[in-house]
């Protein structure tokens, strides 16, 4: 008893999950008569009341179109939208707000870079390097680009633990390598990729690096300048913000030489039928009315996360993951997929010989929400020799009790399907 009490005190000194849980209204609801145990955070996170209220406030008292309005509300909406851009700049440690582009999400971010930077600077016979860990969203946009320009996709392999083989990267890159697209954290296994090392290797050959930070931003303190990433992108909804909003960070010198992504209003400075002058950064990449409420909501979500202290958040989530791994070692029928040394927010597993979808269905009936399937990483599943895995992914509002509920429900699953 003494030890568990000590653990409890230690935990409290890190973060107070009970207090945090009160900030998330959805956690009060019951699922099929059971308290919600939400462990599908790598798919999307729940939203704190502050974010929900910010969106409500925007639509109920500030709603207007931004940038060219001469009236009061437009001025207010513009201030709120551009204020959110500044919050994001600060959160990821970018140099200037002009380097922050709002998009719909990480997927659109990668497509934007592929279709602007890629179309202009990557040509026939050139090579683009990605890794086995990638989500489909960091594979398919590059495949489409390769088809368009006649370039070739190369892939950094992984070992059985789910770690990148960096030595192989050194062999893969050559004079034809024009870009590296790499995830910061694997959505399927939780592997934290040694980004600094990869970027250093790439920059020695003058190769720009595009980082998919969708799974990293919610769990790690990210500073794009320290990383020296050329592009870094993420989704708002995976970091307690709304869906439909995401961010592309790009170094100014790259963004300046890139052609626009979409044409339309707001991305121009003057239009005649003969010639159009494009707007300055970042507006050159933001055609049409953006998701203003989404940007504001994301800004508030990042404020919220910052108020919890990112280092404490990372520490607390690590504790949850370690606790889950510890519990899994007591369950002989459970096989953890991937044993990366550095891991963030995710455990992937299979139970006995059961298919992940059957496990997911039984867990759901116990109020436990996990993800089952290939996690939009089919090439990774193929490399691991699997069809699917179960994935439990954690957020700052999860508790050790949630982990206990997961393992109790897994035990029940064995009883039902065993």
Partner 1 sequence: MEELHDLYQELVLDHSKNPRNFKKILNCNHSAEGFNPLCGDQITVYLKLEKDLIQDISFLGSGCAISKASASLMTTALKNKTTKDAFSFFNKFVQMVRGENNQGTNLESLGKLQVFKGVKEFPVRVKCASLPWHTLLAAIEKKNGKISTE
Query: How many residues comprise the chain?
Result: 418
Q: Side by side, which strands form the sheet with 127-131?
A: 100-103, 246-250, 231-235, 209-212, 177-183, 127-131, 152-156
Q: Does 350 bind partner 1 (CB under 8 A)?
A: no
Nearer to partner 1, 203 or 355 (CB): 355
Catalytic pick among 156, 376, 381, 384: 376
Closest to partner 1 by CB, 219 or 374: 374
Residues 6+ apart with CB under 8 A from 126: 149, 151, 152, 176, 177, 178
Angle between helices 49-57 and 292-308 (to 10 degrees): 150
Q: How far is the CB of 133 from partner 1 (least distance, A)?
A: 18
- Considering only residues 185, 354, 396, 406, which one is a binding residue for partner 1 as defined by CB under 8 A? 354
Name the residue with tokens 């052609």.
259
Note if 390 is an active site residue: no
Total residues binding partner 1 (CB under 8 A) = 17
Which residues contact residue 23 at a Cβ distance below 8 angstroms, ignoring those fewer than 6 apart?
A: 48, 49, 50, 304, 397
Give 21's Cβ-side CA count (13 Å radius): 15
357 scored as a contact of partner 1 (CB under 8 A): yes
Q: Is 416 in the site for partner 1 (CB under 8 A)?
A: yes
Q: How far is the CB of 47 from partner 1 (least distance, A)?
A: 24
The answer to whether 295 and 102 are in contact (CB under 8 A) is: yes
> Of residues 119, 221, 355, 383, which one binds partner 1 by CB under 8 A?
355
Break the chain down into helix, strand, coil percent, rounded to 5. 45, 20, 35
Question: C-beta of 339: minimal distance to partner 1 in Å?
Answer: 23
**What track of x and - describes contact with partner 1 for positions 39 through 68 (by CB under 8 A)?**
------------------------------
Q: Provide φ and ψ at 342, rounded to 5°.
A: -110, 125
Per-residue binding string, partner 1, 358-397, x by CB under 8 A, is: x--xx--x-------xx---x--x-----xx---------
As annotated, the active-site residues are 376
Binding stretches for partner 1 (CB under 8 A)? 353-358, 361-362, 365, 373-374, 378, 381, 387-388, 416-417
């Amino acid at each position: 008893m003494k030890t568990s009490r000590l653990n409890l005190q230690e935990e409290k000194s890190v973060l107070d999950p009970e207090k945090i849980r009160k900030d998330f209204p959805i956690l009060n609801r019951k699922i099929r008569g059971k308290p919600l145990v939400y462990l599908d955070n790598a798919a999307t996170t729940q939203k704190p009341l502050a974010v929900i209220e910010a969106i409500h406030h925007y639509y109920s008292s500030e709603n207007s179109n931004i940038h060219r309005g001469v009236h009061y509300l437009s001025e207010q909406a513009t201030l709120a939208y551009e204020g959110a851009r500044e919050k994001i700049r600060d959160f990821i440690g970018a140099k200037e707000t002009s380097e922050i582009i709002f998009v719909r999400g990480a997927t659109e971010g990668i497509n934007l870079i592929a279709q602007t930077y890629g179309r202009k600077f990557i040509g026939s016979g050139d090579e683009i390097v990605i890794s086995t860990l990638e989500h489909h969203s960091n594979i398919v946009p590059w495949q489409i680009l390769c088809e368009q320009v006649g370039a070739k996709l190369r892939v950094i392999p992984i070992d059985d633990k789910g770690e990148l083989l960096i030595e192989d990267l050194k062999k893969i890159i050559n004079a034809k390598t024009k870009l590296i697209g790499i995830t910061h954290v694997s959505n399927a296994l939780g592997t934290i990729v040694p980004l600094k090392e990869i970027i250093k290797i790439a920059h020695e050959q003058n190769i720009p690096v595009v980082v998919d930070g969708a799974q990293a931003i919610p769990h790690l303190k990210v500073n794009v300048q320290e990383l020296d990433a050329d592009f870094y992108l993420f989704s708002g909804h995976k970091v307690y913000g709304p869906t439909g909003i995401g961010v592309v960070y790009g170094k100014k010198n790259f963004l300046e030489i890139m052609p626009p992504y979409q044409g339309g209003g707001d991305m121009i400075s003057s239009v005649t039928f003969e010639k159009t002058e494009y707007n300055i950064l970042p507006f050159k990449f933001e055609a049409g009315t953006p998701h203003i409420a989404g940007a504001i909501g994301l800004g508030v979500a990042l404020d919220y996360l910052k108020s919890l202290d990112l280092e404490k958040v990372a520490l607390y989530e690590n504790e949850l993951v370690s606790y889950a791994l510890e519990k899994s070692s007591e369950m002989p029928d459970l096989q953890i997929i991937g044993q990366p040394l550095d891991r963030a927010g995710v455990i992937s597993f299979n139970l006995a010989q059961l298919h992940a979808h059957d496990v997911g269905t039984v867990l759901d009936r116990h109020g436990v929400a996990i993800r089952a399937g290939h996690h939009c990483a089919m090439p990774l599943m193929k490399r691991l020799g699997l069809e699917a895995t179960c994935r439990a992914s954690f957020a700052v509002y999860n508790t050790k009790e949630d982990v206990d509920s997961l393992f109790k429900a897994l035990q029940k699953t064995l009883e039902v399907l065993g």
